Chain A
Amino acid sequence: MNGRKPFVLYTAMAFGYAFLYLPIVAVIAYSFNKSRMVTVWGGFSLKWYGELAGNTQILDAAQRSLLIAALTATLAVCLGTLAGLALARFGRFSGRNLLSLLTSAPLVMPEVMLGLSALLLFVSLEQLVGWPERRGLTTITIAHVTFCICYVTVIVRSRLVQMDHSVEEAAMDLGARPWKVFFVITLPLIAPALLAGWLLAFTLSLDDLVVSSFTSGPGASTLPMVIYSKVKLGVTPEINALATLVILFVAAGVTIAGWMLHRQGKATG
């Protein structure tokens, strides 16, 4: 079978990859279009990027989104690592099934459900204890952390399960106490998983529209919320430019992280 080119397979693959990339490539191309008409190529121009730089609404939302994403990713990595550690290393303990359920259920929960339930909690809390007075950055971050924990847990847990447990036992055997084993041996070895988990949580939070819409309050729109309201009104070259920047930013981040992980993976086996 080798030798003979499976023509059908290659055609199907080419079609699939074209399907995946054509829309993105089109958006990037049209972001440099001089014409306001989205369908007509009017020559190369950077003017939409210029307009973007002057749009305080978008810049404000982008800043807020990046802050929420960074906070979310950091908190989710801390909590998710603890959960992953407990599930992978503590053996059988009471509450294990509950923790396992709680860290996997949000993965299959539709976003609308997550958003709705978080909002109902915040409203009830406000009634009961007067907090949160107004919804915004804090409430969005809490809601984001809640579903991001689960992704981090999955990643950390699977890394820990793959890892040779006897490496940690060896450190303990050589006189290191459990917390020292964690910081000197376990943490450096699962660092790639933590980085991957952080990045995933960061992009999930940065992309989220639905949960943010439910848990946000007046004057606290995130970037996806601004994009959504603009897109509802139609395709604009400005959004093309914004989309291009976001896509390139994420692609560059993922590529660099992937490369770093690859190098570290080589070093630590």
Chain B
Amino acid sequence: MATARPHATVEPWQDPNAEPILRIEGVTKTFGKVYAVDDVSLDIYRGEFFSLLGGSGCGKSTLLRVLGGFEIPDKGRVLIDGVDVTRVAPYERPVNMMFQSYALFPHMTVEQNIAFGLKQDGRARSEIEDRVAAMLDLVRMGQLGRRRPDQLSGGQRQRVALARALARSPKILLLDEPLGALDKKLREHTQFELVNIQEKVGTTFIMVTHDQEEAMTMSSRIAVMDAGRIVQVSTPSALYEYPANRFVAEFIGAVNTIAGTVVDAGEDRVVVRAHELGQDVVARAPQPIPVGTDVSIAIRPEKIDVREQPPSGEDNVVQGKVADIAYLGDVSIYHVRTDSGHVLRVQETHAARTADPHYQWGETLWLVWNAADAIVLAS
């Protein structure tokens, strides 16, 4: 997990001169008194695989429907290639959507489904046939063009939906939980396939998902949403290593958070009095924080090192006893209860093959971590 796709050598969002293919300006959408999308602004660039990530009801699907033209925002604008499409009907937008339910037309064959959009554009019959065949090849469904949707498996339907949405060569493809209806094994496989197809066709993909692992694996960038607002936009690795706040830190992966008060502030590091641990800890601060501020410190479980003897010369040392052990095959998770009663989660990778856990239940351990690996979050 947590490795960005290697293609990201070019990062258009770093380039001040790059023209975004999609610009969202202050979009707000309310349903009654509920703010589904609350003043969202976002630039997305050509060729990106962009994810909108968040829990249910965070507004990610509404935002996607605004982009597709199914909801008209109360405020704000949507521009595609510099053209304002805020009030343009879905059937006149250069974007296509892959629906969560796939929304395949049940009374048409796979071929007819894929050809539907091309027919609406009034393309020549031979052109439509070629394009349909090419799309079937792209999603490896060449043999099944004559079938009806109800004769297909879930994974096959998903691929037909993808082919249908890509057939018109949209400028942007919108994907609403594209893997949500697949079982776990198939989902992992399809993640890579979807990324490969995206790289092959070069279309800009915008995906809505609630699954952080899915977003991390597939995306060039991720926007984390909560309560209708965008909390942070970053590459997957930056999101994991430098979460902007506690919500993001806890949403992406596992994390230990320790509450405390800043007692000493250096240039890029602070000393925090952690009441829950009954001791001071040193952490990295991205920007200067005044003494006396209440903060949270986030440490990823795999960043904590375990010692069986009291160590010396480390930034942070906390002593505790093993309270719980979970063996997960590739790693083990330990819950270590400190003398103050706080429980820290620690992850150990199994490099060598052994049937025994490294540490025993109730064993006294010393947990150490670098100041640079602990990050101070605004709470």
Enumerate chain A residues within 8 angstroms of B106, measured Cβ to Cβ: 167, 189, 267-269
Q: Among B93, B101, B117, B165, which residue has its beta carbon within 8 angstroms of that of A166?
A: B101
- Encode B85-104 as 1/0 by CB contact (under 8 A) with A: 00001111101110111011
Partner of A175, one of B91, B103, B149, B150: B91
Interface contact A173-B149, CB-CB below 8 Å: no
B164 interfacial contact with A, CB 8 Å: yes
Interface 0/1 of A156-172, CB less than 8 Å to B:
00000000101101111
B149 touching A269 by the CB < 8 A rule? yes
Contact B148 A173 (CB under 8 A): no
Question: Contacts A185-B105, A269-B106: A174 and B100 contacting too (C-beta < 8 A)?
Answer: no
A176 pairs with B120, CB closer than 8 A:
yes
Q: How large is the interface on A (under 10, 10 to 19, 20 to 34, 35 or more residues)?
A: 20 to 34
Residues of chain B with a CB closer than 8 A to A167's CB: 103-106
Interface membership of A177, Cβ < 8 A: yes
Choose from B69, B93, B99 the contact partner of A170 (Cβ within 8 Å): B99
A50 at interface by CB-CB < 8 Å: no
Give every chain B residue within 8 A of A172 (Cβ-Cβ).
Answer: 89-91
As a 0/1 sequence over residues 105 to 121 of chain B, the CB contacts with chain A under 8 angstroms (1 = contact) are 11100000000110011
Known: A176-B91, A268-B107. A171 touches B101 (CB 8 A): no
Verify if A188 is at the interface (C-beta below 8 Å from B): yes
With beta carbons under 8 angstroms apart, the residue of A164, A188, A189, A269 that contacts B150 is A269
A169 to B95, CA, bound (A): 13
Are A189 and B107 in contact, CB atoms less than 8 angstroms apart?
yes
- Cβ distance A181 to chain B, nearest Cβ, rounded Å: 8
**B265-283 to A contact mask, C-beta < 8 Å, 1/0:** 0000000000000000000
Q: Collect the chain B residues with CB atoms within 8 Å of residue A171's CB.
A: 105, 116
Interface residues in A221-269 (C-beta closer than 8 Å to B)? 266-269
Q: Give the CA-CA distance A268 to B151 in the complex, in Å.
A: 10
Q: Which residue of the partner chain, among A170, A180, A188, contacts B97 with CB atoms under 8 Å?
A: A170
Does B73 have its Cβ within 8 Å of any Cβ on chain A?
A: no
- B70 located at the interface, meaning its Cβ lies under 8 Å from any Cβ of chain A in the complex: yes
State which residues 126-153 of B face A: CB under 8 Å.
Answer: 148-150
A173 contacts B150, C-beta separation under 8 Å: no
Note all chain A residues with C-beta closer than 8 A to B90: 169, 172-173
26 A-B residue pairs with CB within 8 Å:
A166-B101, A166-B103, A167-B105, A167-B106, A169-B90, A169-B97, A169-B99, A170-B97, A171-B105, A171-B116, A173-B68, A173-B90, A173-B91, A173-B96, A175-B120, A175-B168, A176-B116, A177-B91, A185-B105, A189-B106, A266-B150, A267-B148, A267-B150, A268-B106, A268-B107, A269-B106
Interface residues of B (CB under 8 A from A): 68-70, 89-93, 95-97, 99-101, 103-107, 116-117, 120-121, 148-150, 164-165, 168
